[in-house]
Amino acid sequence: MRIVFIGPPGAGKGTQCKRLVELLGIPQLSTGEMLREVKRQDTALARWVARHLDAGELAPDHLVMRIVAQRLAQPDCEAGCLFDGFPRTIVQAQLLDEYFSRSSRKLDLVLDLHVVQEQLVLRLLKRAELEDRGDDDYDTIKARLRVFETQTAPLLDYYRKRGLLTTIDGMQSPDEVFEQIRLAVAART
């Protein structure tokens, strides 16, 4: 299965992806982690990516798709994968659709993890403290949430129209959220 997780920063995409990886035995593709890895390198590209990420902006669509396509070409993705934080824009979704149409693969399910904004801010500030993530200060969090609302939230309609979207209440306990996810996945298999 190929599953996309959509949700604002702090909604729990990474946490739930890890649980689903164990259940399905397919890899988690975290574009956030992939971009942070690029950012740690000592290259002009890394500095360019860092400027975008440190300002709370999304990395350019073509760059993200290039990184994702390289990862999808690896053998462990043959049976499927979980997309954590990708696509984040309509353009990225269209690029992914084009990639799949060329490779005779398809997207099976899109999970929307819905959490109210006040809770997201609290979760992200706590994560910043626990994980020493400099990209999660208050101003950057607010900027990232604005970016989500303007650039990523339109994906919900994009995937709803294609019959792929299932909304999950991310305000519940992690176990309750995972049970809803497990049921949504079972309905597609």
Active site residue 123: no
Active site residue 88: yes
Catalytic residue among 19, 105, 127, 160: 127
Helix (H) or strand (E) holding 175: helix 174-188
The DSSP-derived string for 60-112 is: PHHHHHHHHHHHHTSGGGTT-EEEES---SHHHHHHHHHHHHHHT----EEEE
Angle formed by the axes of helices 117-131 and 138-147, nearest 10° = 130
Catalytic residue among 133, 146, 162, 188: 133
Catalytic residue among 2, 39, 88, 123: 88
Helix (H) or strand (E) holding 185: helix 174-188
Active site residue 188: no
Catalytic residue among 39, 71, 123, 144: 144
The answer to whether 7 touches 114, Cβ cutoff 8 Å, is: yes
Catalytic residue among 2, 13, 39, 71: 13
CA distance 143 to 25: 35
Query: Which residues belong to the active site?
Result: 13, 88, 127, 133, 144
